[in-house]
Amino acid sequence: MWLAIYIVGGIVVLLFLFFIITYNGLIGLRNQMRNAWAQIDVQLKRRYDLIPNLMETVKGYMKHERETMEAVTKARNLAQSLASGGAAARSKAEDALGGALSKLLAVVENYPDLKANQNFLALQEELASTENKIGFSRQYYNDSVLRMNNKVQMFPSNVVAAMTNFKQGEFFEVTVTEEREAPKVSFT
């Protein structure tokens, strides 16, 4: 009689422990995912901050590219104003900003003086790296989502996920395939 109680009690305790460990694991993965999402914002914000500096440096050299420059400024301001808005509209604005920037950096080729400017070279490195960082932070976010979703879907952790109503994470989808590539910043 006592033996049976011990066995049942032991199983209950084990199940409870399993529940706690799995649940905490899921929470940890979700926090990691949210943190990864916040990291994308950090990098996007860095891009907003770099653009005024870039404009300031480029202004004196690029007399004939007023339109290209205005397009970048406009895209930046639009993206920044949508920063707290819906994900879809925002990602479109960010894509547009990426495109405008790469156009601007492409015409730099026609300005040898500018390409020799130390200040510009430093900014170019920062911009190119920020583009990479945006890409890598999105990539890491997706990796985190994958890890969490695997846990949510697979047995036995899926039981705990279902009991606690744990939702799957959403992948970050890149709308245009070209967008994944950084703007063509040339280092020649």
Partner 1 sequence: MWEQINANRWRSVVLTASMGLLLLLIGYFLGYFFLDNAIIGLILALVVWGILSLIAFYQGDSLLLSLSRARKIGRDDNPRLYNIVEEMKIASGLERMPDIYIIDDSALNAFATGRDPSKASVAVTSGLLAKLNRDELQGVIGHEMAHIKNRDVLLMAICAVMLGTIVILAWYATRVLFFSGGGRRSSGGGGAGGLIVLAVGIGLLILAPILAQIIYFTVSRKREYLADASSALYTRYPEGLASALEKIAASPVQLKSANKATAPMYTINPFRQKGRAASNLTSTHPPISERVRILRAMSGASLADYDQAYREARGTKAGIAPASALALDKMAGATALREPSAEAKTAEKAPQKVERARETSDMMWRLNKYRTVDCTCGTKLRVSPDFKGVNVKCPHCGRTLSVKGAN
Contact residues toward partner 1 (CB under 8 A) are 32, 36, 39, 43, 122, 125-126, 128-129, 132-133, 136-137, 139-140, 142-144, 146-147, 150, 154, 171, 180-182, 184-188
Whichever of 54 and 182 has its CB closer to partner 1, that residue is 182
Whichever of 70 and 178 has its CB closer to partner 1, that residue is 178
- b (16+ CB within 10 A) / e for 139-155: ebbbebbeebbebbeee
3-state secondary structure of 22: helix
Whichever of 95 and 126 has its CB closer to partner 1, that residue is 126
List all residues 6 or more positions away from 170 whose beta carbon is below 8 Å from its beta carbon: 145
Query: Residue written as tokens 């899921």?
Result: 26
Whichever of 92 and 147 has its CB closer to partner 1, that residue is 147
Residue 73 CB, shortest distance to partner 1, in Å, is 23
Instruction: For the chain, give the number of residues.
Output: 188
Which H or E run includes 23?
helix 2-59
Query: Residue written as tokens 């405008």?
Result: 100
Residue 144 CB, shortest distance to partner 1, in Å, is 7
Half-sphere exposure of 181 (CA within 13 A, CB side): 6
Residue 174 CB, shortest distance to partner 1, in Å, is 10
Residue 57 CB, shortest distance to partner 1, in Å, is 15
Whichever of 70 and 181 has its CB closer to partner 1, that residue is 181
| Residue 157 DSSP label | H
Which pair of structure tokens corresponds to residue 16? 């409870």
Residue 126 CB, shortest distance to partner 1, in Å, is 7
